Chains A and B, each alone.
Chain A
Amino acid sequence: MSAPLVSAKGLGVTRGGHPVLRGVDIAIEAGEIVTIVGPNGSGKSTLLRLLIGAERASAGEVRRAPGLRIGYVPQRLAIDHTMPLTVARFLGLAGGGREEREHALQRVGIAGLGGRQMIDLSGGQLQRALLAHALLHRPQLLVLDEAAQGLDQPGVARFYRLIEELRTELGCGVLMVSHDLHVVMSASDRVICLNGHVCCEGTPTVVSAAPEYRALFGFGTEGALALYRHEHDHAHAEGAPGHHHHPADAEA
Chain B
Amino acid sequence: MSPLDDFLLRAVLAGTGVALVAGPLGCFVVWRRMAYFGDATAHAALIGVTLALATELPVVAGVALAALAMALTVSLATGRTYAMDTMLGVAAHGALAAGLVALSLLPGVRVDLMGYLFGDILAVSRSDLLVIWAGGALILALLVWRWRGLLLATLSADLAAAAGIAAARERLVLTVALALLVAVALKVVGALLITAMLIVPAAAARAFAPTPEAMAVVAAGIGAVASAGGLAASFRLDSPAGPSIVVAAVVLLLLANGIAAVARRGGGRGAGRG
Q: Which of A71, A77, A93, A94 has the most CB of B within 10 A?
A: A93
B149 CB to closest chain A CB (Å) equals 10
Judged by a CB distance under 8 angstroms, whether B110 is at the interface is no
Q: B130 interface residue, CB < 8 Å from A? A: no
State whether A53 touches B161 (Cβ < 8 A): yes
Contact of A81 among B157, B209, B273 (CB under 8 A): B273
Contact A84 B206 (CB under 8 A): yes
State which residues 111-161 of A face B: CB under 8 Å: 117, 119, 133-134, 137, 143
Q: For the complex, is B84 an interface residue (Cβ under 8 Å from A)?
A: no
The interface bits of chain B over 144-176 (1 if a CB of A lies within 8 angstroms of the residue's CB, else 0) are 000010011011111101111001000000000
Cα–Cα distance between A54 and B156 once the two chains are bound (Å): 10
Consensus secondary structure, chain B interface: helix
Cβ proximity bits B193-233 to A, threshold 8 Å, 1 near / 0 not: 00000000011001001111111000000000000000000
Question: Interface 1/0s, chain A 67-83, versus B by CB < 8 A?
Answer: 00011101001111111
**In whole angstroms, what is the CA distance A143 to B161 when docked?**
12
Q: Are A52 and B155 in contact (CB under 8 A)?
A: no
Is B264 on the interface with A (CB-CB < 8 A)? no
Would you call B271 an interface residue if the criterion is a C-beta within 8 Å of the partner chain's C-beta atoms? yes
Contacts A84-B206, A137-B163 hold; do A93 and B31 have CB atoms under 8 A apart? Answer: no
Across the interface, do A49 and B214 meet the contact criterion of CB distance under 8 Å? no
Do A70 and B148 touch across chains, with their CB atoms under 8 A apart?
no
Given contacts A52-B162, A54-B161, contact A84 B33 (CB under 8 A): no
Is B212's CB under 8 angstroms from A89's CB?
Answer: yes
B203 surroundings in chain A (CB, below 8 A): 82
Nearest chain B CB to A140's CB is how many angstroms away? 12
Chain B positions within 8 Å of A117 at CB level: 210, 271, 273
Q: Is the CB of B151 within 8 A of A49?
A: no
Residues from 82 to 111 in A contacting B, C-beta threshold 8 Å = 82-86, 89-90, 93-94
Question: A54 contacts which of B158, B210, B213 (Cβ < 8 Å)?
Answer: B158
Contact of A74 among B158, B164, B214 (CB under 8 A): B158
- Contact flag A93-B162 (CB < 8 Å), given A85-B212, A86-B210: no
On whether the beta carbons of B162 and A54 are closer than 8 Å, the reply is yes
> How far is B206's CA from A81's CA once the two chains are assembled, in angstroms?
9
A90 surroundings in chain B (CB, below 8 A): 155
Shortest CB distance B191–A (Å)? 25
CB distance from A98 to the nearest CB of B (A): 14
Report yes or no: B30 in contact with A84, Cβ–Cβ below 8 A: no
Asked whether A93 and B211 contact (CB < 8 A) given A52-B162, A82-B30, A84-B206, the answer is no
Assembled-state Cα–Cα distance A79/B212 (Å): 12
Judge whether A84 and B214 touch: CB under 8 Å. Answer: yes
Identity of the chain A residue whose Cβ is nearest the Cβ of B160 in the assembled complex: A54
Measuring CB to CB, which residues of chain B are less than 8 angstroms from any residue of chain A?
30-33, 148, 151-152, 154-159, 161-164, 167, 202-203, 206, 209-215, 271, 273-274
Binding site for B on A (CB under 8 A): 49, 52-54, 70-72, 74, 77-86, 89-90, 93-94, 117, 119, 133-134, 137, 143
Q: Please list 14 pairs of residues, one from A and one from B, whose beta carbons are closer than 8 Å in the complex, sorted by A's number.
A: A49-B158, A53-B164, A54-B157, A72-B161, A80-B31, A80-B32, A81-B273, A82-B30, A82-B206, A82-B274, A84-B210, A84-B214, A93-B151, A119-B273
